[in-house]
Structure 1
């Protein structure tokens, strides 16, 4: 297992950019969004679309450091090694492990107008449902949440909780960027209701 993980850790930083460069990606803004945020922002995409999502963040913000939130699981360790090799800064943890430290690190980066990339339904779901923590942070910090809707023309789909998709080389990828400026929530119920509505709106994307 250790040897296999080591080999995968060395291959991913090479294979992922090669696959990404082969994709025919079209990026468009949603009607309520016409530009990329220049200051602090949360860049989000569903867990099952992460192969494109992570490198898309680097493509859209080539001059900025992208801070990636990655879980402490075995798969997360493999991913974190690959992302570090690709030039990402890492925040290790999730909503269930080291959650308070993760929130503090994200808040600190956003206060310095940094860019944080996160899969809001990861690392274990529910599928395409925003975790309340990411919404709460964006609201409290008064920073935009930029959601990337990613659709592939041709993929291999895994039988996993997140319906993980591996785009086939040279396939078309349509990306729509939604900028979401969150309101200030007066109660936890308001936050949860907003999160449910947002998940319903973007869950089919």
Structure 2
């Protein structure tokens, strides 16, 4: 019982602390955003797991404050404990979650992703998450884009000064008062491509 209580406290408290921490960092930094817009049709948006820390602010810029403020996106997040914390943090930004990963709940996540795209909601994926390998592209990202004939756009940010965690994803956390540059790539398609060719193209685009 005590272990469950501690876990409950952690799950409820950690997201609020993280949310406060990333806002403090974001507010002190100088930000820039690329001029690229989201494609008109529902799309699949990808970014590396190591850029997760401050990526919610990209959602605020391109979705909530973008050309169509009514447009929404949902992020595929694992069903593990870490995923629960991430889901709660992004919920503070108004971002929905699709729960599941390649190792747990994959079929459920794929099915919901198809429904969301058909309903006009963009689907955001970290193709190397939740556990790597580092900067790899899982099949799920390709399958979702191809089955729904959806275009792909790449999100990224770089920081002039940052901490880099010793985690599998080499996550970077911008330091206060640094410069953060957010980019959104032009849309591209992997429809009708062989799976391996599509993965190679996505990897190439994400590493630009």
Q: If the length of structure 2 is used for normalisation, what is the TM-score?
A: 0.85
* Aligned equivalent of 1:6: 12
Partner of 1:45: 47
Q: What is the aligned partner in structure 2 of residue 15 from structure 1?
A: 21
In structure 2, C-alpha distance between the alignment counterparts of 1:38 and 1:173, rounded to whole Å: 26
Task: From the superposition, tell whether residues 111 and 124 of structure 1 become closer, same or farther in structure 2 (CA, over 3 Å).
Answer: same
**Aligned: 1:82 with 2:89:** yes
1:149 alignment counterpart: 156
Q: Return the alpha-carbon distance in structure 2 between the equivalents of residues 6 and 36 of structure 1.
A: 33
More displaced stretch, 94-103 vs 128-137? 128-137
Give the superposition deviation at 1:153. 0.6
Task: Tell me which residue corresponds to 2:63.
Answer: 61
- The match for 1:135 among 130, 142, 146 is 142
What is the CA-CA distance between 1:49 and the residue it aligns to?
0.5
Q: Distance in 1 between matches of 2:151 and 2:192?
A: 15
Q: Which residue of structure 2 lines up, in the alignment, with residue 174 of structure 1?
A: 181
8 Å Cα contact 2:45/2:154 also seen in 1: yes
2:38 equivalent in structure 1: 36
After TM superposition, the structure 1 stretch with the greater mean CA deviation from structure 2, 81-90 or 117-126, is 81-90
User: Out of 109, 120, 124, which is 1:117 matched to?
Assistant: 124
Structure 1 residues 118 and 20: CA distance shift in structure 2, 3 A: farther
For 1:176-198, what per-residue CA distance to the aligned partner results, in whole angstroms no more than 9, with x for missing partners? 32234223336xxx211321243
Query: In the alignment, is residue 193 of structure 1 matched against residue 197 of structure 2?
Result: yes
TM-score scaled by length of structure 1 = 0.86
Aligned residue pairs, count: 197
Contact 1:58 1:66 in 2 (8 A): no
- Aligned pair in 2 of structure 1 residues 149, 83: CA closer, same or farther (>3 Å)? closer
Contact between 1:39 and 1:114, CA under 8 Å: does it hold in 2?
Answer: no
Alpha carbons 1:91, 1:102 under 8 Å: kept:
yes
Unaligned runs of 5+ in 1: none
For structure 2, the residue ranges without an aligned partner over 5 or more in a row are 1-5
After superposition, give the CA deviation of every residue in 1:139-198 in whole Å (9 maximum; x if it has no partner): 221211110132111100111110011111121122332234223336xxx211321243
